[in-house]
Amino acid sequence: MTHAATPPLNQILLGDSIELMKTLPSGSVDLIITSPPYNLKNSTGNGMKDGRGGKWSNAALLNGYATYDDAMPHEAYVEWQRAALTEMLRLIPEDGAIFYNHKWRVQAGLLQDRHDIVDGFPVRQIIIWRRKGGINFNAGYFLPTFEVIYMIAKPKFRLAPKANRFGDVWEFNQESKNLHPAPFPKPLVDRIISSTTANLVLDPFMGSGTTAVSAIDNGRNYLGIEISPEYVELANARVQAFTESTTKQQSLRPTGQLF
């Protein structure tokens, strides 16, 4: 595969995450923020996999993603995610980092953490993202209310000045006003981006474009990859609406006034 001299900037590429990452030069993106599909429809429970609802009847993800069914055999899923992380690690430089969001689940009565995906990658810290409430009520265990963000960092990665004050437990509500079934809350991505000095931020599972909007808002460049044409359209529309609204706000500011 031939490498582009420099990565494309401020675009959302339609296609497969791993295939498209392979076209980008090594060390060419400073920061990766991503939330892959969680393989939720491969479930030992009685909820999502039957497609009828049950305890998951209110979950937006019940209908799955637009073009991806999220139901791989577990081993194949782990292999896929490890291959994606391998490409991500190649793309960041010696002072780069990957913020990889995932969810721990109980499967067949046992905790399924995600060590099989991240083992061997340079995980420096696990950030707990505490969400409001949860949906999988089960008499066998307490209601899960958090997701994790693995901070996978190359040796020279450093946070922006004062960012370490945020600690490692972050509380952000789920995003509800979004047509995508599993979007990041923008404040969560804002927290990550503003905690770094990265110039170019990649999200290889871009979904509705939250990482792109946050990158723009924080004065950084972005690059996204998404397999569903519907979500690429949604993400581009969000980016455009956001850019237009900020341009409008700027033009409304009285001249000479400092903000």
Ligand X SMILES: C[S@@+](CC[C@H](N)C(=O)[O-])C[C@H]1O[C@@H](n2cnc3c(N)ncnc32)[C@H](O)[C@@H]1O
Binding site for ligand X (CB under 6 A): 16-17, 35-37, 65, 68, 180, 182-184, 205, 207-208, 210, 225-228, 231
The distance of closest approach from Cβ of residue 223 to ligand X in the complex, given in angstroms and rounded to an integer, is 13
Taking the least distance from each CB to ligand X, the nearer of 180 and 191 is 180
The distance of closest approach from Cβ of residue 101 to ligand X in the complex, given in angstroms and rounded to an integer, is 8
Taking the least distance from each CB to ligand X, the nearer of 92 and 232 is 232
Distance of alpha carbon 61 from alpha carbon 40, whole angstroms: 9
Q: For strands 123-130 and 146-153, give the pairing.
A: antiparallel
The distance of closest approach from Cβ of residue 165 to ligand X in the complex, given in angstroms and rounded to an integer, is 25
Taking the least distance from each CB to ligand X, the nearer of 28 and 81 is 81
Which residues lie below 8 Å from residue 112, measured CB to CB, with a gap of 6+? 104, 105, 106
The distance of closest approach from Cβ of residue 79 to ligand X in the complex, given in angstroms and rounded to an integer, is 13
Taking the least distance from each CB to ligand X, the nearer of 49 and 162 is 49
Q: Which residue is nearest to ligand X (CB)?
A: 207
3-state SS, residue 4? coil
63 DSSP assignment? G
E strands, 30-136, in order:
31-34, 97-102, 105-107, 110-112, 123-130
3-state SS, residue 237? helix
Which residues lie below 8 Å from residue 57, measured CB to CB, with a gap of 6+? none
Taking the least distance from each CB to ligand X, the nearer of 69 and 158 is 69
Distance of alpha carbon 163 from alpha carbon 31, whole angstroms: 15
The distance of closest approach from Cβ of residue 1 to ligand X in the complex, given in angstroms and rounded to an integer, is 16
Taking the least distance from each CB to ligand X, the nearer of 34 and 196 is 34
Q: Vertex 38, ends 131 and 76: CA angle to 5°?
A: 160
